[in-house]
Amino acid sequence: MNTREFAGHSIVRNLAGGGMTRLFVALDSAQNRVVLRYLLENWARKWRFRKRFFHGAKVLAKLDNPHIVKILKTGYEGRIPYMTMEFVESRTLRDLILYREPLLTQNVLSLMRQMAAALFYIHAQGYLHLDWKPENILVRPDGHIVIIDFDLAMKRKRRPIRVKELPGTPSYIAPEALTRHLVDERSDIYSLGVTFYEMLTYHKPFEGDKIEQVRAAQIDPNTPPTRPRQYNPDVPVAMESLVLKCLAKQPDDRYPSLSLVIRDLEALL
């Protein structure tokens, strides 16, 4: 495979890699910058991985919101599935947290409100994201956020959905998904709460030396998360309460809808 040209696109630079896919910044035939993503050859041989690869693109094609990345094209180069998406000049929220960037610290409430609004839109369109984490949130230099990676997204249903495989990254998975493999919009709200927590404290709600310790704390109803104000006393009490409500161990104790998260975020100064 020519590493400088792919499916009529000129590769500019590597953007990310790992797992089953590779991402690049590329130029299309009109010399516009796009993000090119393709499935690695070993995975492309199997139908179920090709199906999963295109699933996220199909979901994105049905969404139209300034906070959600736009899918441009899908197809095959030979036997290799690929897609192109809009290029967003940005850094991930993970980077901003890792380096404690002023863009995060000076705009944290604005970023939180944008995230809640974006996730509310996703739910309103009938989907669960199920992979909400800082790596999947792009932040432009002007503080505007864009959500990416809908590979695990599922259609919402009236009742919790039982899934065969755990969706998402363990630290962001709600307790009911870890223990009973059940997900609904409150599972996304839990993941949003973990993200909020990290933005405010630079810690995760549950931490430990071993993964098993962290997992046990996540699911134990008698082990609450460390209160955010213990890490960051500047966090307002009302904001701390909002985050902890998102992180409630029992789904019924969480916010039932993003509309209520948005309401309480809007009440914060």
pLDDT value at position 167? 74
pLDDT value at position 165? 82
* Single-letter code of the amino acid located at 76: Y
pLDDT value at position 166? 80
Q: Which is more confident, 19 or 35? A: 35
Topology of domain 5-86, CATH: Phosphorylase Kinase; domain 1 (3.30.200)
Query: What percent of the chain clears pLDDT 70, i.e. is strictly above it?
Result: 98
Cα of 260 vs its chain's centroid, Å? 20
Q: Among this protein's residues, is 131 annotated catalytic? A: yes
Rounded to whole angstroms, the Cα distance separating 214 from 211 reads 5
Candidate list 28, 95, 131, 264, residue with the active-site label: 131
- Cβ atoms of residues 70 and 56 within 8 Å: no
- Which among 154, 172, 138, 149 is positioned nearest to 21, based on CA atoms? 149
- Cβ atoms of residues 104 and 93 within 8 Å: yes
pTM here is 0.94
| pLDDT band, residue 269 (cuts 50/70/90) | confident
pLDDT in tens, 164-214: 888 788 899 999 999 999 999 999 999 999 999 999 999 999 998 888 888
DSSP label of 136: G
pLDDT in tens, 230-253: 999 999 999 999 999 999 999 999
Q: What's the average model confidence in pLDDT over 120-146?
A: 97
Topology of domain 91-267, CATH: Transferase(Phosphotransferase); domain 1 (1.10.510)
pLDDT value at position 212? 87
Rounded to whole angstroms, the Cα distance separating 100 from 174 reads 26
pLDDT of 255 higher than 80? yes
pLDDT value at position 2? 46
pLDDT in tens, 158-175: 999 999 888 788 899 999
pLDDT in tens, 95-113: 999 999 999 999 999 999 9
pLDDT value at position 1? 47
Q: What's the average model confidence in pLDDT over 52-78?
A: 96
pLDDT value at position 15? 86
CA angle 49, 18, 61 (to 5 degrees): 50
Q: Calculate the average pLDDT of the chain.
A: 94
Helix axes 237-246, 258-267, angle to 10 degrees: 170
Q: Which residues pair with 74 in a beta bridge?
A: 83
Q: Which is more confident, 18 or 4? A: 4
Burial of 153 (0-12, 13-18, 19+ CB in 10 A): buried
pLDDT value at position 54? 95
* Domain ranges in the chain with CATH number 3.30.200.20: 5-86
pLDDT value at position 3? 56
* Domain ranges in the chain with CATH number 1.10.510.10: 91-267
